[in-house]
Chains A and B, each alone.
Chain A
Amino acid sequence: MAFKPIANTRSATGVSTGKLALYWLLCSEIVIFGGVLAGYLMHRLAHPEWAYQSMHTNTLAGGINTFVLLTSSLFAVLAHDAAEMKDGKKAAQWLLATVAGGGVFLCIKAVEWSNEIAHGYTITSSVFWSFYYTAAGVHASHVIGGCIVMLFIAKDAWQGKELHRVEFIGLYWHFVDIVWIFLFPLLYIAK
């Protein structure tokens, strides 16, 4: 192995380079999700009839998914805790539990969307439903991406390698959780 990553060994800012890169990613995510949420909010204020359309979203499914994501965030921070204790195997197990949480979230979302589409509420039905599917869809794609990366990190962590990455993927996961925390009241509660 001729190449050693410098992600945790060099810094010009007081933050390790890998973590800094992760935070820059989160900065771009703030603009992406912030834009969707701000756009939604302004349209929602201008369109009182959205109240009728949002009545058809499934609050129970949204609530359960919020519970699942909050719980998976707990697993992610417990993985970080284990990594700090240099317990790679335990960290990997918590990461796998986090991935399982992401999987449950996606399954519930799939059932929810199938039901809505079966009732005719599709992405082209109205601007409300366009926002609904776009915001939740972009978020779900982040969940999928996070799960895939987490599996790679869990594999390394199991072997006790690159444990600092456990924290990085956890930070990303918490951000995805925070986005959902705001999407939930906007799409499911404000009716």
Chain B
Amino acid sequence: MSENTAHHESHEYHSHAKQYVRIWGILLTLLIVSILGPMLEIPILTLITAFGIALVKASLVVKYFMHLDHEPKFIWYILSVSLAFMCLFFFAVAPDVKNHTGTNWTNIAAIAEIERGEAYGDPAAHHGDHGGEHGGEHGTPEEHGTENHGGAHEGGH
């Protein structure tokens, strides 16, 4: 049970510095693509370049910088169980935050927030210097009744 200290100590270690620099170069190239891709404003391309590339970058870091593929399976088990339970909890239990209406209920505040945000959030109509009044999702429905001029009454929350 206990004879495993760093197993790689037993054989001679050779520097992998060149490989690490090469991986860093690839990561930077991917970073540039992930910034330039969304500039074309094609939704599917944005999805692929922004999030697909994030996955590729993360896997490169995991594989080449963390050397996770050289770790025993036990490490994979504990990491993937954490990830699986986190996904289970949020995506299986909590996705109702995405619903704003149900059979017997309506999330008035969320709907009002979307309407308010879309009415006054358009940067073309409303430009940056309004400061703190931006947003304010959390108001009661009554609070949202009078806005349209930018929700400036909102700051008190």
A and B interact physically: yes
Q: Which residues of A contact B (CB under 8 A)?
A: 8-16, 20, 23-24, 26-28, 30-31, 34-35, 38-39, 42-43, 45-50, 52-53, 55-56, 59, 63, 66-67, 70-71, 73-74, 76-78, 81, 84-85, 119-122, 124-129, 164, 170-171, 174-175, 177-178, 181-182, 184-185, 189-191
Give 20 A-B pairs besides A14-B4, A38-B90, A45-B98 with Cβ atoms closer than 8 angstroms: A9-B5, A30-B82, A31-B85, A34-B86, A34-B87, A46-B97, A49-B113, A49-B117, A73-B24, A74-B20, A85-B13, A120-B129, A125-B134, A128-B135, A170-B65, A175-B66, A182-B58, A185-B53, A185-B54, A189-B35
Closest residue of chain B to A33, judged by CB? B86
In the complex, whether B153 has a CB less than 8 A from a CB of chain A is no
Q: Is the CB of B66 within 8 A of A78?
A: no
Closest residue of chain A to B74, judged by CB? A13
Q: Is the CB of A126 within 8 A of B134?
A: yes
Q: Is the CB of B31 within 8 A of A63?
A: yes
Give A29 Cβ to nearest chain B Cβ, in Å: 9
In the complex, whether B94 has a CB less than 8 A from a CB of chain A is yes
23 A/B residue pairs, CB under 8 Å, sorted by A: A13-B74, A14-B74, A15-B72, A15-B75, A16-B6, A24-B78, A31-B82, A42-B94, A47-B137, A49-B117, A52-B123, A55-B123, A56-B134, A67-B31, A70-B27, A74-B23, A120-B129, A124-B157, A125-B135, A127-B138, A174-B65, A175-B66, A185-B54
